[in-house]
Amino acid sequence: MSENDASRRNFLTMAAAAPAVLALGGMAAAQDSSTAGTLPGAGKAALITGSSRGIGAATARRLAREGYAVTINYLTNHDMAAAVVQEIEAGGGRAIFRQADVADAAAVGALFDANEEAFGGVDVVVSNAGIMNVGPFAAMEDEAFDRMIATNVKGSFNVLREASRRVRDGGRVITLASSIILSKPAFTAPYAASKAAQEIFASTLAKELGGRNISVNSIAPGAVDTQLLRQHGEAALAGIPEATPLRRLGQPDDIANVIAALCASDGAWINGHNVFANGGLS
Ligand SMILES: NC(=O)c1ccc[n+]([C@@H]2O[C@H](COP(=O)([O-])OP(=O)(O)OC[C@H]3O[C@@H](n4cnc5c(N)ncnc54)[C@H](OP(=O)(O)O)[C@@H]3O)[C@@H](O)[C@H]2O)c1
């Protein structure tokens, strides 16, 4: 293992190290309903970027189970996005999927248009699409830096700007930060900076949209078992369960549950915050 490999592995252990500032665990369960007529998302629509897999797909499935009509978005994985839609429809839900690069403002506008054409409007927007390039600051190449900033910062800006124009009164806007913004491990500076931007986006936008009864928050997951981490190799996940008070690695559903809690009526008073969701690793 090279020095860089060892350093990348360490940063992943450290990335999950951040305090949980809000305890939301009971809220999601409190909002579950087995009665179709009382589903919290009945008559509402949710748009989730980057929902062909990982946290975004888990969020789409969860919100669909809560009665939301959902718009699935992907960059390249057409078949995975289609499979999420098929699964939701098989469960009795409503969903569409559209390709759009969030870094492209026009494509994001077209994505929201597609949602409106299908479902009449949008009540929940989750800016989830993101990529993670890591390595020594001195070795970070322009292309890797530029693509990550274009996706994570400009892309989320595009999505949140469109959301601020289109989300219906009483809605929710959520963007994905990361617990890495507290632990600040070496070799992650550009990624961590791109995720820190989400906390600022959410806390400031909350002040702009509050007059329309719209809550805006960021969620900061710790390490979650998705391709975003697995692309760095199995060793990247080593040690994280043992170091986590809840003794396991985060799963996409752990984050989808917190998103659902914020979307529920009981979550309305949580506004302008960055919500850490990391199993207590600190
Ligand atoms: N996993 C973690 O440990 C962790 C921790 C903290 C925060 N987060 C954040 O959580 C979010 C989701 O992460 P994840 O782990 O679920 O990632 P993932 O499994 O790698 O999935 C990424 C998703 O984003 C989509 N995507 C990537 N670039 C895009 C673009 N330019 N336009 C539209 N869609 C794009 C991908 O689409 P394709 O399938 O078409 O490529 C995919 O659906 C990210 O913002 C990430 O920074 C993750």
- Per-residue pLDDT tens, the chain, 282 aa: give them: 333 443 344 344 444 333 332 323 333 333 343 444 589 999 999 999 999 999 999 999 999 999 999 999 999 999 999 999 999 999 999 999 999 999 999 999 999 999 999 999 999 999 999 999 999 999 999 999 999 999 999 999 999 999 999 999 999 999 999 999 998 989 999 999 999 999 999 999 999 998 999 999 999 999 999 999 999 888 778 889 998 999 999 999 999 999 999 999 999 999 999 999 999 986
Task: Please identify, by atom number, the ligand 1 atom nearest to the C-alpha of residue 156.
Answer: 45
Q: With respect to residue 196, please indicate whether it lies within any of the assigned structural domains.
A: yes
Q: Do 25 and 75 belong to one domain?
A: no
For ligand 1, whether the C-beta of 16 sits within 6 Å is: no
Q: Are 18 and 240 within 8 A, CB to CB?
A: no
- Asked if residue 282 belongs to a domain, the reply is no
Nearest Cα residue to 173 out of 184, 182, 164, 181: 164
Q: What is the pLDDT of residue 37?
A: 59
Query: Would you give the DSSP letter of residue 224?
Result: B
* pLDDT for the residue 124: 98
Q: Which atom of ligand 1 is nearest to the CA of 151?
A: 31
| pLDDT at residue 236, rounded to an integer | 77
Residues 29 and 72 in one domain: no
Give tens-digit pLDDT for 28-42: 333 343 444 589 999
**pLDDT digit string (tens) for 229-247?**
999 888 778 889 998 999 9
Full residue range of the structural domain in which residue 30 is found: 1-37
Q: What's the 36 CA to ligand 1 centre distance in angstroms?
A: 31
25 by Cβ neighbours in 10 Å (0-12 / 13-18 / 19+) ranks as: middle
Same domain, 60 and 90: yes
Pocket test for ligand 1, best of 8, 53, 102, 183 (most atoms within 8 A of CB): 53
**Is ligand 1 within 6 A of the CB of residue 224?**
yes
16 and 134 both lie in a single domain: no
Give the nearest ligand 1 atom to 250 CA.
3
CATH number reported for the structural domain that contains residue 144 in this entry? 3.40.50.720
Q: Which residue owns the Cα nearest ligand 1 atom 9? A: 176
What's the CA gap between 118 and 271, in Å, rounded? Answer: 29
Decide whether any atom of ligand 1 lies within 6 Å of the 77 Cβ: yes
CB of 74 sitting under 6 A from ligand 1: yes
CA 204 / ligand 1 centre spacing (Å): 23
Q: The whole model's pTM is what? A: 0.90
Q: How many domains does the chain have?
A: 2
pLDDT single digits (tens) 157-196: 999 999 999 999 999 999 999 999 998 989 999 999 999 9
Asked if 144 and 8 sit in the same domain, the reply is no
Return the pLDDT at 210: 87
CA distances, 218 to each of 87, 200, 238, 259 (Å): 27, 9, 27, 9
Q: For residue 65, give both structure tokens.
A: 């189970």
Residues 27, 83, single domain; the answer is: no
* 29 and 118 assigned to the same domain: no
Domain match, 9 and 57 both: no
How far away, in angstroms, is 34 Cα from ligand 1 center? 30
